[in-house]
Structure 1
Amino acid sequence: MIQGIKNTRFQFPGQVDFYRGKVRDVYIFDKTIAVVATDRISAFDVVLPVPIPFKGQVLNQIAYHFLSVTASAVPNWVDISPDPNVTLGKRCIPFKVEMVIRGYLAGHAWREYRDGKRTLCGVSLPDGLKENDPLPEPIITPTTKASEGHDEDISREDILKKGIVSEKEYVQLEAYTHTLFKLGSEMAREKGLILVDTKYEFGTYEGEILLIDEIHTPDSSRYFYLEGYKERQAQGRAQKQLSKEFVRQWLIENGFQGKPGQTIPEMSPAIVNSISNRYIELFEHITGKTFVPADSSDMETRIRSAILEHI
């Protein structure tokens, strides 16, 4: 069985810092960052113990694809992707919020609604909605960007009240978020998919607001298949989806939601392989390209060499 890459531990000339996120290893230079998408997988803000082969390549290449095709509408941080798992770009100062936008009532929003909440992050929702129903219009439900632990829902009003983002900046973040979601939804529909919900992160570089991180990947987004959506919804059946939600559902079914005292279920080779295949399926479906697995014989050397050539 092919082994995924779980961690990198490089030291580059001119490197000033290093940051390890849930999935990415970030090498920081004066005005540049090199982001390595590893094969780590997280759910409920917990990194699972077994890496998923090719997951990092899928995430990096999907994100690079969408960052490239949306750059004329919303400026972003990317300069180059010299390796299937690597992207280099501008070192931005991130805003401490994630801009979550939802077009359908699914996932976390549905669980809150099912439990009786009709206001989410200060946004009112109508009665009578079913799981996976379209919302009257896309809504933004921000979360705080936690350095550790769980991200927390927060309203626009609280973001401004706490001074996390200025009102002028937040208006721009909202506008960029709606623009990206509209573009992402149109591109998904062209491929027979529905972009259900997603998140965007932003930062500043020399005073300019830029889109940062990944976009429209299965880690940051939820997709339904367009074909059969209406029929499944009318019949009260689960939607066929391409997202990380199936990983969360598997964990829930096996008694794990990231809560204290819970144990992560065993990740058998069959489970790991099935997750890998689902990520590859999404890559091919959303980009319309055939997935070409990168050489996995010595990933650390391959990735290190690619970064060295471009710093």
Structure 2
Amino acid sequence: MNKGLKSTDYHFAGQTKKYTGKVRDVYEFEDQLAMVASDRISAFDVVLPEPIPYKGQVLNQIAARFLEATADIVPNWVDSVPDPNVTIGKRCDPFKVEMVIRGYLAGHAWREYRDGKRMLCGVALPEGLKENDKLPAPIITPTTKAAEGHDEDISREEILKQGIVAEDLYTQLEEYTQALFQRGTEMAAERGLILVDTKYEFGMYEGKIILIDEIHTPDSSRYFYADTYAELQAKGEPQRQLSKEFVRQWLIAEGFQGKEGQRIPEMTEEKITSISDRYIELFEKITGDSFVKEDTSDISNRIKENIEKSLNLQ
């Protein structure tokens, strides 16, 4: 079985820094970044021990498509996509918050609500909601952007009080977030999907707000199938989802939620293959295209050579 790309360790001419995230390896140059989407998978802010074949290609190619499709709303960081697993773009100064927006009561928001909370990131939630109910209007529930460990919920008021983002800039981030979510919702509807919730990250580049990282991928977003949503909701049954939630639910069922003392369950070859197949299904449903598996027999060298060509480092 193809084991997937677990990590990279390149040393490019002109490289100033390397940053290893939960999923991506980021190579910094003077004014650009080369972001490699590995096949690592994380859940509950923990990187799982085995990579998922083709996951990086899926995420990188979905993100590229949606970034291109939203460039009229807000400029983004992308300069080129020279490899199925690589995006090269502008090196921005990132804001230290993630802009999470939710149209439905699902995932983390539902777990908080189920446990009795009626205020999420400073936003009041009405009584009487069920899991996966549509919210009266989309709500923004930001999180802090942790360099390590868990991101934490934070309110607009706390962001401004702590000076994490200036008010005029934060207001613009909110406007961009709402507009991007609306566009994502419309594009999802064309594919018979509901965009449930998602997150956006932004940075500053030459004095302007720039959309960075990935958008509308199954790692950063949750989708429901539109055709069965109302019926399943009326019956109180689980929604058919396109997201990474199926991985989280498997871990929860095995007694793992990223808490101290908990052990990650065994990732068998069968489980790894099934997760890979689900990511490919996600790609095809979200984009409407057939997924073309790239040759991964020498993936590390392929990526290295394509980055070097794109940045004229050879």
Q: Match for residue 127 of structure 1?
A: 127
Q: Secondary structure at the match of 1:309?
A: helix
List per-residue Cα deviations over 1:137-195 (Å, max 9, x = no partner): 00000000000000000000000000000000000100000010000000001000000
Instruction: Write the distance in 1 (CA, Å) between the matches of 2:54 and 2:227.
Output: 27
Q: Match for residue 279 of structure 2?
A: 279
The one-letter amino acid of 2:179's match is T
Instruction: Write the distance in 1 (CA, Å) between the matches of 2:165 and 2:297.
Output: 45
Instruction: Write the distance in 1 (CA, Å) between the matches of 2:257 and 2:214.
Output: 24
TM-score with structure 1 setting the length: 1.00
TM-score with structure 2 setting the length: 0.99
Q: Match for residue 185 of structure 1?
A: 185
Q: Match for residue 42 of structure 2?
A: 42
Q: Match for residue 16 of structure 2?
A: 16
1:2 aligns with 2:2: yes
Q: Match for residue 149 of structure 1?
A: 149
Q: Match for residue 69 of structure 1?
A: 69
Question: How far did residue 3 of structure 1 move?
Answer: 1.4
Question: How far did residue 200 of structure 1 move?
Answer: 0.2
List per-residue Cα deviations over 1:74-133 (Å, max 9, x = no partner): 110001000000000000000000000000000000000000000000000000000000
Q: Match for residue 292 of structure 1?
A: 292
The one-letter amino acid of 2:306's match is A
Q: Secondary structure at the match of 2:128?
A: coil
Structure 1 unaligned regions, length at least 5: none
1:56 aligns with 2:79: no
Instruction: Write the distance in 2 (CA, Å) between the matches of 1:140 and 1:189.
Output: 21
Question: How far did residue 310 of structure 1 move?
Answer: 1.4
Taking only the aligned residue pairs, the percentage that are identical comes to 71
Alignment RMSD: 0.4
Q: Match for residue 262 of structure 1?
A: 262
Structure 2 unaligned regions, length at least 5: none
Instruction: Write the distance in 2 (CA, Å) between the matches of 1:207 and 1:309.
Output: 29
1:158 aligns with 2:158: yes
The one-letter amino acid of 2:242's match is L
Instruction: Write the distance in 1 (CA, Å) between the matches of 2:83 and 2:233.
Output: 41
Q: Match for residue 198 of structure 1?
A: 198
List per-residue Cα deviations over 1:189-232 (Å, max 9, x = no partner): 10000000000000001111000000000100000001111000
Question: How far did residue 63 of structure 1 move?
Answer: 0.1
Instruction: Choose 148-157 or 65-74, whichever is displaced more.
Output: 65-74
Instruction: Write the distance in 2 (CA, Å) between the matches of 1:271 and 1:172.
Output: 42
Instruction: Write the distance in 2 (CA, Å) between the matches of 1:251 and 1:210.
Output: 35
